[in-house]
Structure 1
Amino acid sequence: MGGLVTGILGLPFAPVRGIGWVLDKVVKTAEQEYYDPAPIQEELVNLEQARTEGRIAEEEFAQREEALLHRLEEIRAYHLRKAQGGP
C-alpha cells in the first residue's frame, strides 16, 4: 500500500525526474565527446601532414602542437580521475 501511495503522491514530480534524467544523459554525452582523444589525435596527424607539405610555418606548427598535446594531457588526466573514482 505504501508503494501505491508514494507512487500517486510522486506523480506530480514525474516530469521533473524525467527532465533530470534527460539532462544527466546530455551531460554524460557531452563529457564523452569533450574527453574523446580521437579528434585531437587526428588533428595532430593533420597538423604534421600540413607541416610536412609546407602548408604551415614551423612556429605556427609548434604553437598548435603544444596546445593539442596539452589538451591530450587534460583528457588523460580526466580519464585517470574517472578510473580512480574521482569527479
Structure 2
Amino acid sequence: MGLVTEILALPAAPFRGVGWVLDKVVQAAEQEYYDPGPVQEKLADLERAREEGRVSDEEFDEQEELLLRRLEEIKAYQLRRAGSNGA
C-alpha cells in the first residue's frame, strides 16, 4: 500500500520539493534576522564611537534605544520559538 501511494503521489513531488526548499530558505532567513550577534556588535561599535567622540550623547542614546529594542524583539522571538517547540 505504501508503494502504491508513493507512485500515485509522484507527480506532486516537484511541488513538495519546492515547498521544502522554501521552508529551508525561510528558516535560514529567520536565523539570520533573529541573530543577536550583529546587534550586540553594533552596540559595542556605538559605545566605542561615543568614547572616541565620533557620536554625540544624544545620537548615542537614540541609536542605543533602537538597538536595545531590537535585542528585546530577538529575545521575545527566541522565547516564542522555545515555547512552541516545547509545547
Which residue in 1 is equivalent to 2:68? 69
Aligned residues: CA RMSD = 1.0
Task: Give the TM-score taking structure 2 as reference length.
Answer: 0.93
Query: Between Structure 1 and Structure 2, how many residues are aligned?
Result: 85
Which residue in 1 is equivalent to 2:13? 14
Q: Give the drift of 1:52.
A: 0.5
Q: Give the drift of 1:57.
A: 1.3
Letter in 2 for 1:70: R
Moved over 3 A (4+): none
The unaligned stretches of length 5 or more in structure 1 are: none
Task: Give the TM-score taking structure 1 as reference length.
Answer: 0.93
Which residue in 2 is equivalent to 1:84? 83
Q: Give the drift of 1:26.
A: 0.5
Classify the secondary structure of the residue corresponding to 1:66: helix
Q: For residues 42 and 57 of structure 1, what CA distance do their matches in structure 2 show?
A: 19
Q: Give the drift of 1:8.
A: 1.2
Q: For residues 75 and 4 of structure 1, what CA distance do their matches in structure 2 show?
A: 44
Q: Select the structure that is richer in helix.
A: 2
